[in-house]
């Protein structure tokens, strides 16, 4: 069995690959592929039996991969936070896994793949897939504002005024004026699912940064990218070698 993995977080991908190899030792795993653009190019020639895909990739939503490519295999989606996707994919017999990935849930998804494998190539199934993707894209609305804590007050911040989100002991929102606010989010994964990928990018495990507030970038000899933000409250952000290519594509648009 050939499995294609679409995941832009190297640590998440490594953990998931390890689990898949434990459960499907005979499987060949290609990837992880971190961006929509890379996946679209790969699928011009690759013919996987199964795709395991994060909904949010480095340069956009993975649904764009499947609507623009001729996909005739089942897909197991992974997501940190997307109630619509969970509900819709379950109804349409496409499995999903909530991050962090649980081994038993992954086993259940793979069992479903083996049980229903013969159905995935028929025209009715593919039509349902396309309709689902269309509905998802049409209904997808990115978060326009956030509530944050300022002392005893709760204030509203527009998404366009967010320079970055950073994970410390809690999740902070850094405003364009340099003020740093506490949010109620538990993880950056949760926030990432709500943001417009054209404006925001998950740079690493600690930062989600906003494109308009990037001042400059430089690459080092290892292939990592150091990003200087326009605000001092957003320190230098390091993008790993594995994510460097997709990050540049995101910046360039």
Average pLDDT over residues 184-211: 90
pLDDT of residue 93: 44
Most confident among 81-85, 149-153, 181-185 (mean pLDDT): 181-185
Beta strands at 96-98 and 75-79: parallel, antiparallel or unpaired: parallel
Q: What is the pLDDT of residue 142?
A: 83
Report the chain's mean pLDDT, rounded to a whole number: 84
Topology of domain 2-139, per CATH? Answer: Rossmann fold (3.40.50)
For the residues 134-154, what does the mean pLDDT come to?
Answer: 78
Tell me: pLDDT of 36 over 80: yes
d(CA 229, CA 226): 10
Q: Quick check: 137 pLDDT over 70? A: no
CB 121 within 8 A of CB 72: yes
pLDDT tens digit string along 70-111? 677 888 888 775 554 555 455 444 677 877 888 999 999 898
Residue 201: per-residue pLDDT: 92
Max Cα–Cα distance, the chain, nearest Å: 58
Share of the chain above pLDDT 70, in %: 83
Provide the residue ranges of all domains of the chain, joining segments of one domain with +: 2-139, 145-252
CATH superfamily, domain at 145-252: LytTr DNA-binding domain (2.40.50.1020)
Tell me the CA distances in angstroms from 183 to 78, 108, 165, 186, 230, one per residue in order: 24, 34, 9, 8, 22
């Amino acid at each position: 069995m050939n499995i294609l993995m679409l995941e832009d977080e190297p640590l998440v991908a490594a953990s998931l690959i390890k689990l898949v190899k434990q459960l499907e030792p005979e499987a060949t795993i290609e990837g992880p592929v971190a961006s929509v653009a890379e996946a679209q190019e790969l699928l011009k020639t690759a013919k996987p039996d199964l795709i395991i895909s994060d909904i949010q990739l480095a340069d956009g939503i993975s649904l764009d991969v499947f609507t623009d490519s001729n996909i005739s295999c089942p897909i197991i989606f992974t997501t940190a936070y997307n109630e619509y996707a969970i509900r819709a994919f379950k109804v349409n017999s496409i499995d999903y896994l909530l991050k962090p990935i649980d081994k038993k849930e992954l086993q259940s998804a793979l069992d479903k793949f083996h049980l229903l494998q013969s159905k995935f190539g028929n025209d009715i199934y593919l039509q349902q897939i396309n309709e689902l993707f269309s509905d998802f894209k049409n209904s997808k609305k990115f978060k326009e504002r956030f509530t944050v804590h300022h002392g005893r007050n709760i204030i509203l911040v527009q998404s366009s005024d967010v320079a970055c989100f950073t994970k410390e002991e809690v999740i902070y929102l850094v405003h364009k004026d340099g003020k740093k606010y506490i949010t109620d989010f538990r993880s950056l994964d949760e926030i990432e699912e709500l943001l417009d990928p054209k404006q925001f990018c998950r740079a690493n495990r600690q930062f989600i940064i906003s494109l308009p507030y990037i001042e400059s970038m430089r690459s080092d000899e290892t292939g990592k990218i150091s990003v200087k933000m326009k605000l001092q409250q957003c320190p230098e952000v390091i993008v790993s070698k594995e994510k460097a290519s997709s990050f540049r594509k995101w910046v360039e648009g």
